[in-house]
A and B are shown apart, each in its own frame.
Chain A
Amino acid sequence: MSENNILHVGLDVGSTTVKIVVMDNNLNTIYKDYQRHFSDTKNTVCKSLENLIKQFPNYMFTIALTGSGAMSASKFLGVNFIQEVVSCKRAVEKYIPKTDVVIELGGEDAKIIYFDKSIEQRMNGTCAGGTGAFLDQMASLLHTDTAGLNELAKNYTTIYPIASRCGVFAKTDVQPLINEGAAKEDIAVSIFQAVVNQTISGLACGRPIRGNVAFLGGPLNYLSELRKRFVETLGLKPEEVIVPEEAHLLVAKGAALDSLDSTPVTAEELKQKIENLRNSHDNTTVPLEPLFKNKEEYEQFKERHKKATVPKKDLSTYKGDCYLGIDAGSTTTKLVLIDNEGNLLYSLYGSNEGNPLQSVMKMLKELYSKMPKDAKLRFSGVTGYGESLIQTALNVDLNEIETIAHFTAAKKFEPDVTAIIDIGGQDMKYIKMKNGAIDNIMLNEACSSGCGSFIETFAKSLNLEISEFVKEALESKRPVDLGSRCTVFMNSKIKQAQKEGYSVGDISSGLSYSVIKNAIQKVMKVRDVNTLGDHIVVQGGTFYNDAILRAFEKIVGKNVVRPDISGLMGAYGMALLAKEQFEANLDMEYYSKILKADELDKLEIKVTFARCNNCENHCKLTINKFSNGATHVSGNRCERGAGIATNKKNLPNLVQYKYQRIFDYTPLEESEAKRGTIGIPRVLNMYEDYPFWFTFLTNLGFRVIISDKSTRKTYEDGMESMPSESVCYPAKLSHGHIENLLKKGIKTIFYPCMPYSRKEYEKADNHYNCPIVISYSEVLKNNVEGLKSKDVKFLNPFLPFDSKNLVKKMLELPEFKEYNFTKKELEIAAKKAEEEYQNCKNDIKTKGTETVKYIEENNLRGIVLAGRPYHIDPEINHGIDTLITSLGLCVLTEDSVADKAEVKRPIRVVDQWVFHARLYAAAEFVGKHDNLELVQLNSFGCGVDAVTTDQVEEILSSYDKMYTLIKIDEVNNLGAVRIRIRSLLASMNKRIKQKEDEKANGNYEINKKIFTKDMRKDYTILIPQMAPIHFELLEAAVKTCGYNVKLLRECTREYSRNRSKICK
């Protein structure tokens, strides 16, 4: 057959469609087709290929498959599979070679590909935000399709903010807009904007999208308005926008191009291959275990859960004291009334319709109307999202953080509770307990895939009541495995399952499994379900669903407790806390101050909006003024905004003090600086060493300029030169600081590499800096373009940090030759620098002593905010220090107390970093002080901190102290942090109450088991596998030297998994 008879075929099997492109020998496209596969990729691929043969019966074909769904098809077909990004590269190089960035949206995936020297692809993993599926779902809310959405968006006037992170959240934003009667046009365009935001913030993660941008994939091809949103948001010029013809086929074309070199097959051969594929079996749909094996099991299950019941009493005949608990959640409001014994008298549950205050008032009125005269309301408490607003408005006696309320309620059902899992419609909480205190809290912030609302929506779409839907699930014999991706994606899987003959019950039970899997893996981020402990309490409205409850038990492999008031636990806990507080006050004259029915009627609320001008954030404040004189401010990120209404007195904040102390130096005037100006970036170890270098260089006659304070902008300015995504935020910020210095026109920048820090503890093993602190300036040298310019001098030699050797080195190094330093002047400068360095350290220590004393004298409490020196940068710690003072606590730094305690050595870890040694000492100090707690800050991606976190926890828990670790990165979210610090506070209160108990001794030293000479005779020594070839030999060699060693060859994935736990 001649070459002219060969055609080149590319098949792109995407998440929703199959695209086929055929090229002739001159690479002209002569045939193309595009079909939705409705999750039946196999038959759709077969059909496409059969059509191909029908069209071109007398040809031979070279074929390549690409796309997310092509992997198994290509295997059974026996043709080449190529990675999507490769086929995309092929096509882009051929058709649109000037492309710099590709943005591709598909049915279930979203991608950005950067065409740089090395191609980089970023794609969404399991989240549906910003994909075609998301658009479909949103369009259905407006009773249209995506094309309709596009038409609507053409005539918009306003863009509303819509949560882009998650489809479920977006729905919550869209629904009120529809209800309020916002124009459909505006909603449509807002949905597009949400997709754009998700793509840019979620996928690009800050890497700039610039240059020529090509838009690929179905949605971007068909939806002109979506494209327009991208172009406007990215600020692209018209010539930078590339919309290739047949953008949706481009990837298939790439595959066709890539197939050129493969061996052609005849139509006959291809027919055979199609048969092979058709007869193949994908074992992907193995059903899961049924929720219940048989009727008895279900009966037992029902019996078991009946036990977790709160006793009830009739309110209408009740006489005596009662206590009120209110849980003002973000979407629902709950209200509970209990008596002296904790019996439930009355409860209410309802949606808050977007206004928590109004709905609480409504419920209160309802309660008052039912309360008999002889029932006396003694005390009231409020918790939840709207707690402070409601407390101020309605004079509620007590407020408490929701975790504590939940914990209190859970304890009533399971005294030794180890984990509380609360799943609501779209909110989820996981509270991990340890030794009766809250150890960790996880909230769903960006994903609601593990929440209950999806099941309800789905039941509705089948026109089933939720109860019926659940009933079917419980009886299902083969629940379908729907995986654990975003629930938005599950729609297509469900359709496929229906086609394969699964019943409604199979799907419903499968969904229950998926919801729980999502909850555990994505929100709770639990890898090993054993960490949940043996006493698990589940609650929240979603767990009323028996199928979900059972799925949870199945997955964790344990029976759990679900209280019968599962949805009211927050309010119930609050009522218990109110009762506790009343009893503790011992004031029998007291009656709850909460507004009475007539007062509720009279309450007027004036809402005004304002901008806080206390810092660059300019938070938007909502100010509620009540007719009872109270004011409530919300929307503020820190206490400064709230300060408009409430004035907290100035508590000591050593983080702020230290920041000032380290950097508050005045440089020489230009006229005084005989050696010119030198710049120092305000980064990493400079938060420790700046006083030294400033003094040293100033005394040498330099005008020392430090880069400006870090802001988000600093980070963005340096983004382009960052070579590594996974390095810690403090390191990332340093790029921006260098840019800042360059922008100031500074031509000489001093930022040395410092392998060692000072040894502060005699008994510590060594005194290294962390690898990033040592030599991040090397990264800057190699990656920041501006530093390579000829007129800029970047001084970053490795330098010793003791005066004597420093002087010697400075005289030797060629970098410093031009300055002609004399030995004498260097010595003087170094001496002064050393003095100032010590002064600064002493000042911080003294301040620490003062603060500890102040705390004691004023009966206050304090938190040691422990971390690395640069964690005092407000851009890095996101203002956690001011958050703490706003809660009425003093803030200390680790180095302000580290000199006041001696760590009991030897400790378990190798103690060779100075900053770490301080942490251990600070923990020891905190362990011995009742009025102090420690919160450790940990930058995400910090490998060496994995060493410290466990050790600090060990020290603290040996003193029965709660350990709080806060991971921080560039994402600024204080919501969960606030909850955790308040929980810490609550556990502190509790401990002080129980002070009479015996004190923990603080025993954490390690007894290293010694390998003695005797052991050598009959001990087996295990060697972990590290390099298969070398260690095989090593085992033999060591054996011959008289050791009985054994190489762990089988040490497999489990080992690496264990190791990864370590690495985090």
Chain B
Amino acid sequence: MIEALQSGEYDLNKTALIMSQTGGGCRATNYIGFIRKALKDAGFENIPVISFNVVGMEKMPGFKLTPELLEKLVKCIIYGDLLQKMLTKNRAYEKNKGETKKLFDTWMEKCKKLLEKSTSKEFKQSIYDIVNDFEKIELDTSIKKPKVGIVGEVLIKYHPFGNNFVADLLEKEGAEVILPDFMGFVKFMATHKITFNKLLNTNKTSSKISKLAIKLIDILEKDLKIALSESKKNYLPPCDIWHLEDKVKDVLSIGNQTGEGWFLTAEMIEYIEHDIPNIVCVQPFACLPNHVVGKGVIKTIREKYPEANISPVDYDPGASEANQTNRIKLLMTVAKDNLRTKENEKKAIDKENMTSKENKENTFSKIET
């Protein structure tokens, strides 16, 4: 950001910065403080920094979360999650190289327009249109690729620069990459107050508001769920936060909410249950919650789900890239070996079925003659 300010592209008297603030007991809440220091050190003290958060920290009169903006943000996330799914799934198997990306770009532009102005009906329709359009992309079903899910710290898992292009690397290594839905994280954040109310007897009203918020999101996501379930391409549906909460309780308490908290563990379980046993867990250096909810639970998850193939990878710009690549390649080797064994088993079973069927048919034909 500092770099952008120094570039001379912006009028420094007319520029502000915006940073997201999660508001939890994680240092991510404090990035804004770091940015302020960096600004001061670079001599940009006069640049206002806006905190973007939903818990009402650092109020700034010029920036307000209006209902309109909130609604648009939710739509943003729905579109983003959907397009992301479409892109990764189809790109992995497309017959005509580049077709998916092209369609993706077209829809990206369309979605931007729709965000500007659209009726709820138009919005609804667009969801179905997206899924249907991508349905037309022909996939090569003969390719068998291991599915690899990414979980981890919220900034690192999406940001290609933060994770040294882990998604690209995995795709190159022959994986179908599954990126987590952003909405899941939003829903998880919304459960915070409810949980603390349950566990620690904290404020009741905020608990109620949060419950309402989750309900609203679920309503907005309804069409997304239907559209995806109608597709034949086996997309990962949006998560059911209450189901996940239930599932994760066997591993750790839902009181773990700092950072990605129990949601990170839940995402791993969700992947495994949806037949995505290979998981890369990305962690930036010195991200504390991950020690607990990431690396800390892998042992238990492996015990519960023996097919799980999880690899924690530390990302820190100073860390050796070779080590990261090594880990990912190892994960892929295991993933491919597992897939092959599974395919062979399946083939063996199919073959057995076939032969028994043939035998039957043979017997029949014998009888006939």
Chain A interfacial positions (CB closer than 8 Å to B): 82-83, 85-86, 89, 117-119, 121, 125, 723-724, 726-727, 731, 753, 755-756, 765-766, 768-772, 774-776, 778-779, 781-783, 796-800, 805, 808-809, 908-910, 912-913, 941-944, 946-947, 950-951, 1006, 1008-1016, 1018-1030, 1032-1034, 1036-1038, 1040-1041, 1043, 1045-1046, 1048, 1050-1060, 1062-1064
Does B61 lie within 8 Å of A799, measured CB to CB?
no
Q: Which B residues are in CB contact (< 8 Å) with A1027? A: 80, 158-159, 182
User: What are the residues of chain A within 8 A of B1 when measuring CB–CB?
Assistant: 1022, 1024, 1048, 1051, 1055, 1058
Check B201 against A1032 for contact (C-beta < 8 Å).
no
Q: How far is the CB of B288 from chain A (nearest CB, A)?
A: 4
CB 8 Å contact bits of B97-122 with A (1 = contact, 0 = none): 00000000000100110011100000
Chain B, Cβ-Cβ closest to A1043: B63
Q: Mark B244-286, 1 if CB is under 8 A from A, else 0.
A: 0000000111011111000000000000000000000000111
Say whether A755 contacts B32, CB under 8 Å.
no
Contact yes or no, A1018 B14, CB < 8 A: yes
- Contact, CB under 8 Å: A774 / B61: no
- The answer to whether A1006 and B200 touch across the interface, beta carbons within 8 angstroms, is no
- Are A1038 and B69 interface neighbours, CB within 8 A? yes
* Known A809-B199, A1019-B48; 17 more pairs at CB < 8 Å: A86-B333, A89-B330, A778-B256, A782-B252, A944-B30, A1009-B46, A1013-B61, A1020-B14, A1024-B1, A1026-B159, A1029-B87, A1030-B76, A1037-B76, A1041-B72, A1054-B3, A1056-B317, A1062-B31
Partner of B80, one of A1019, A1029, A1055, A1062: A1029
Residue of B nearest to A942 (CB): B286
Q: How far is B284's CA from A1051's CA once the two chains are assembled, in angstroms? A: 18
Please state if B15 and A1011 are interface contacts (CB–CB under 8 Å): no
Docked-complex contact B17 and A1022, CB < 8 angstroms = yes
A782, B293: Cα distance in complex, Å: 10
* CB nearest neighbor in B for A770: B288
Interface residues of B in 291-322 (CB under 8 A from A): 291-293, 295-300, 302, 309-312, 314, 316-318, 320
Residues of chain A within 8 A of B256, CB atoms compared: 753, 774-775, 778
Once bound together, how far apart are the Cα atoms of A1022 and B201, in whole Å?
Answer: 39
User: Does B206 lie at the interface of the complex (its beta carbon under 8 Å from any beta carbon of A)?
Assistant: no
Find residues 174-227 in chain B having any chain A CB closer than 8 Å to their own CB.
182, 196, 199-202
Q: Does B241 sit within 8 A of A, measured CB to CB?
A: no
For this complex, 21 residue pairs linking A to B, each with C-beta atoms less than 8 Å apart, are A125-B320, A771-B25, A771-B258, A775-B292, A782-B299, A797-B253, A805-B201, A910-B30, A946-B286, A1009-B49, A1011-B48, A1013-B61, A1021-B18, A1021-B50, A1022-B10, A1024-B1, A1025-B159, A1030-B182, A1033-B76, A1037-B115, A1059-B162
**B75-91 CB contact bits vs A (8 Å, 1 = yes)?**
11101110110010000
In the complex, identify which listed stretch (B33-41, B130-138, B229-237, B351-359) lies at the interface while the others stay far away.
B33-41
Best-surrounded residue of A731, A771, A772 (most CB of chain B within 10 A): A771
Contacts of B302 in A (CB 8 A): 117
Given contacts A1009-B48, A1022-B17, contact A943 B80 (CB under 8 A): no
Q: CA separation between A832 and B113, bound complex, in Å?
A: 64
Interface flag for B329 (CB, 8 Å): yes
Q: A89-B330, A1055-B1 are in contact. Are A778 and B62 (CB under 8 A)?
A: no
B29 at the interface (CB under 8 A from A): yes
**Is B139 located at the chain interface by the 8 A CB criterion?**
no
- Contact status of A775 and B255, CB under 8 A, knowing A83-B329, A1027-B182, A1052-B161: yes
**How many Å lie between the Cα of A86 and that of B300 in the bound state?**
25
Contacts of A89 in B (CB 8 A): 330, 333
Asked if B149 CB lies within 8 Å of chain A CBs, one says no
Q: Which of A809, A943, A1028, A1040 contacts B158 (CB 8 A)?
A: A1028
A91 CB to nearest B CB, Å: 13
Of residues 44 through 72 on chain B, the ones whose CB sits less than 8 Å from some CB of chain A are 45-50, 57-58, 60-63, 66, 68-69, 72
Report chain A residues within 8 Å CB of B326.
83, 85, 121
Using known A-B contacts A726-B286, A797-B253, A1020-B11, determine if residue A779 contacts B292 with beta carbons closer than 8 Å.
Answer: yes
A799 contacts which of B200, B286, B293 (Cβ < 8 Å)?
Answer: B200
Q: A86-B330, A731-B291 known; A947 and B33 CB under 8 Å?
A: yes
Q: Which 9 A-B pairs have the closest CB atoms?
A: A798-B255, A1027-B158, A768-B25, A1030-B80, A943-B286, A909-B33, A779-B296, A1036-B112, A771-B288
Question: Do B201 and A770 touch across chains, with their CB atoms under 8 A apart?
Answer: no
Beta-carbon nearest neighbor of A1020 in chain B: B15
B27 touches A1021 (CB 8 A): no
A1052: chain B residues at CB < 8 Å are 161
Q: Does B169 contact A (CB under 8 A)?
A: no
Number of interface residues of B (CB under 8 A): 112
Nearest-neighbor residue (CB-CB) of B19 within chain A: A1024
Residue in B26, B159, B200 whose CB lies within 8 Å of A800: B200
Residue contact B3 to A1051, C-beta cutoff 8 Å:
yes
Cβ contacts under 8 Å, B159 to chain A: 1025-1028, 1056
Contact of B79 (CB < 8 Å), options: A809, A941, A1033: A1033
- The answer to whether the Cβ of B349 comes within 8 Å of any Cβ in the partner chain is no
Cβ-defined contact, B73 with A1034, below 8 A: yes
B348 at the A interface (CB under 8 A):
no
Residues of A within 8 A of B238 (CB): none
Q: Would B47 and A1053 count as touching, CB distance under 8 A?
A: no
Chain B residues, CB < 8 A from A1024: 1, 17, 19
Task: Name the A residues within 8 Å of B11 (CB-CB).
Answer: 1020
Q: Is the CB of A782 within 8 A of B63?
A: no
In the assembled complex, the Cα of A910 lies from the Cα of B25 at a distance in Å of: 10
Within the complex, the shortest CB–CB distance from B74 to chain A, in Å, comes to 10
CB neighbours (8 Å) of B367 from chain A are none
Q: CA separation between A942 and B288, bound complex, in Å?
A: 7
Contact call B45/A1009, Cβ cutoff below 8 A: yes
In the complex, whether B289 has a CB less than 8 A from a CB of chain A is: yes
Cβ-defined partner of A1022 (8 Å) among B16, B21, B37: B16
- The residues of B that contact A726 with a CB separation of less than 8 Å are 285-286, 291, 314
Q: From B16, B26, B57, give the contact of A1021 (CB < 8 A).
A: B16
Residues of A within 8 A of B26 (CB): 771
Chain A neighbourhood of B40, CB < 8 A: 908
Nearest CB in chain B to that of A1060: its residue:
B317
Contacts of A82 in B (CB 8 A): 329
Q: Are B311 and A1012 in contact (CB under 8 A)?
A: no
Say how far B2's CB is from chain A's closest CB, in angstroms: 7
In the docked arrangement, what's the CA distance between A769 and B292, Å? Answer: 14
B112 and A1019 within 8 A (CB): no
User: What residues of chain B lie closer than 8 Å to A1012, measured between beta carbons?
Assistant: 61-62
How distant is the Cα of A1012 from the Cα of B46 in the complex, in angstroms?
13
A772 to B26, CA, bound (A): 10
Task: Check A781 against B161 for contact (C-beta < 8 Å).
Answer: no
B252 touches A1062 (CB 8 A): no
Chain A residue contacts of B300, Cβ below 8 A: 782-783
Given the known A-B contacts A805-B200, A1011-B62, are A1060 and B255 also in contact in the complex, defined by CB atoms under 8 Å? no
Contact check, B196 vs A1033: say whether CB atoms are below 8 A apart: no
CA distance A726 to B69 in the complex (A): 40
Which residues from B are CB-within-8-Å of A913?
25
Residues of B within 8 A of A1046 (CB): 10
Q: Is there a chain A Cβ closer than 8 Å to B143's Cβ? A: no
Residues A1040 and B116 in contact in the complex (CB < 8 Å), given A85-B330, A782-B297: yes
* CA gap between A472 and B89 in the complex, in Å: 61
Whether A86 contacts B329 by the Cβ 8 Å rule is yes
Note all chain A residues with C-beta closer than 8 A to B182: 1027, 1030
Judging by beta carbons under 8 Å apart, are B317 and A1053 in contact?
A: yes
Does A753 lie within 8 Å of B253, measured CB to CB? yes
Q: Assess the A1060–B285 pair: CB atoms within 8 A.
A: yes
| Chain B residue contacts of A1026, Cβ below 8 A | 20, 155, 158-159
Q: How far is the CA of A326 from the CA of B316 in the complex (A)?
A: 45
Report chain B residues within 8 Å CB of A951. 33
Interface centre among A117, A1020, A1059 (most CB of B within 10 A): A1059
Chain B positions 327 through 338: 1 when the CB is less than 8 Å from some CB of chain A, otherwise 0: 001100100000
